[in-house]
Amino acid sequence: MAKLTKDELLAQFEEMTLIELAEFVSAFEEKFDVTAAAAAPVVVAGGAAGGAAEAAEEKDEFDVILTAAGDKKIQVIKVVRELTSLGLKEAKDLVDGTPKPVLEKVAKDAAEKAAEALKGAGASVEVK
């Protein structure tokens, strides 16, 4: 029988359901007369973390898109200038030409803060 590499083993574990993985851990404990109490959560968490990491990799950059300036256009222009390095004319053009992205490929927390600031100024915003 060919020896499996660590990556091949991990690939096999990724395909298992949690029930199958728990049964495997039990069989492993019986076969080698060990207790995997500390190792089992690491294996399970590793599988869960792998899925979470894939989800995070899929969406770790967000765009803040200004969809409408609202009634307080001047306030929105000020906030756009604070969030970006745009000058007054560029910020005004961005606000006038909605829908347009204000920030692109930023972290989730930065996108949420920017969206809150723009909403506070009266703008309509989407985070994608």
Q: What is the pLDDT of residue 64?
A: 86
Q: What is the pTM of this model?
A: 0.51
Q: If you average pLDDT over every residue of the chain, what do you get?
A: 79
Q: Where are the beta strands (DSSP E) in 23-85?
A: 62-68
Alpha-carbon span 36 to 91, nearest angstrom: 59
pLDDT at 106 over 60: yes
- On the question of pLDDT at 44 being above 50, the answer is no
Cβ atoms of residues 119 and 64 within 8 Å: no
Rg of the chain, C-alpha, whole Å: 25
Residue appearing with tokens 């100024």: 121
The 10s digit of each residue's pLDDT in 83-99 is 887 888 888 888 888 78
Contact 125, 113 (CB under 8 A): no
Q: Distance between CA atoms of 111 and 103, rounded to whole angstroms?
A: 8
HSE of 45 in the Cβ direction (CA atoms, 13 Å)?
6
Higher pLDDT, 82 or 58: 82
Q: What angle separates helix 39-58 from helix 18-32, to the nearest 10 degrees?
A: 150
**pLDDT tier for residue 57 given thresholds of 50, 70 and 90:** low
pLDDT score of 39: 41
